[in-house]
Amino acid sequence: MFDEKELMFQVKAGQLDKLATLFENNKVQLFNYFLRRGNSRALSEDLVQETFMRILAYRINFTGSSTFKSWMYGIARNTVAEHYRKNKNQALNCDMEDEELTNAQTLGEEFETKQQNDIFNQSLASISPEDREIILLSRFQQLNYQEISALLDCNLNTLKSRMRNAISKLQLSYQQLVGDNS
């Protein structure tokens, strides 16, 4: 396993080829991060491209004080925020909200799992973007608390408290949806 921080330092030193390794290692996760935030496929791909363009442009700002992943997601968050700031009129293409719950009757375990996953996705879509982001970063992007707190610029205890609140809201929404669906 290669050290991403070391690779980023090599990019910073002018070995631009090394960026390709970082791209290959992170593109799928990053693409899914944008998708899970409710962006369309095409826009998510554009945002991944823009994020890596900024990584290249701002390579001299990488100090290694946090992990490469944490730094990269910081740029990714700014990229998407700036995109929506510039395109205020553009509605968020919420793929998550497009997923309708099926009302069909339970036919087997596979269907039950799918339905449960659908409800999880609906619950995720129903909580606030701030709460959703903390859960996404931890659950799907697999960042640890230290990385997320560096990324969101808050202290560790605040982050833990915010995470618990977010999960409580998610659970509440899940229970409501299960109730509605049964």
Partner 1 sequence: MTNQQIIDWKIASLANNDNSELSEEMQRYLEQNSQLQEELLFIEQFWTSDVKPLVMPSDKLDANFYQMLSRAKTAQQHIPEQYDAQQETTQPLNDYRASSKVPSLSLMDKVKSWLTPMPIAQFATLTLVFVLGYNINKAPNSEINSEAYSVLQQDISSLTTVLAMSMLQKDSASERLSGVAYSRQTNLSNPVLVEQLIELLARDKSTSVRLAIINSLGELESFGLFEQQLLTMATMEENLLVQIELCRLLLNYGSVEIKNLLTEQSSQQQLKPEVQEFIKAQSMASYI
CB nearer partner 1, residue 86 or residue 128: 86
Minimum CB–partner distance for residue 128 and partner 1 (Å)? 17
Residue 48 interacts with partner 1 (CB under 8 A)? yes
Examine residue 9 and tell whether it contacts partner 1 (CB under 8 A): no
The per-residue b/e assignment along 75-111, b for 16 or more CB within 10 angstroms, e otherwise, is bbbebbeebeeeeeeeeeeebbeeeeeeeeeeeeeee
Residue 104 CB, shortest distance to partner 1, in Å, is 19
Alpha-carbon distance of 123 to 97, in angstroms, equals 10
Question: Cβ 103 to partner 1, closest distance in Å?
Answer: 20
CB 133 within 8 A of CB 161: no
For residue 87, what are the contacts with CB-CB under 8 A and spacing of at least 6? none
**Single residue of 7, 38, 39, 52 touching partner 1 by CB under 8 A:** 52
Interacting span for partner 1 (CB under 8 A) from 2-10, 15-23, 100-108:
15-23
Contact string 119-148 vs partner 1 (x = CB under 8 A): -xx--x-------------xxx-x-xx---
Burial of 44 (0-12, 13-18, 19+ CB in 10 A): buried
Q: DSSP letters along 133-166, please? A: HHHIIIIIS---HHHHHHHHT--HHHHHHHHHHH
∠ CA 86-97-137, nearest 5°, is: 70
111: contact with partner 1 by CB under 8 A: no
Give the interface with partner 1 as residue ranges (CB under 8 A). 14, 16-17, 19-20, 23, 27-29, 31-32, 35-36, 41, 44-45, 48-49, 52-54, 56-61, 63, 65-66, 74-75, 78, 81-83, 86-87, 113, 116-117, 120-121, 124, 138-140, 142, 144-145, 153, 160-161, 163-164, 167-168, 170-171, 174
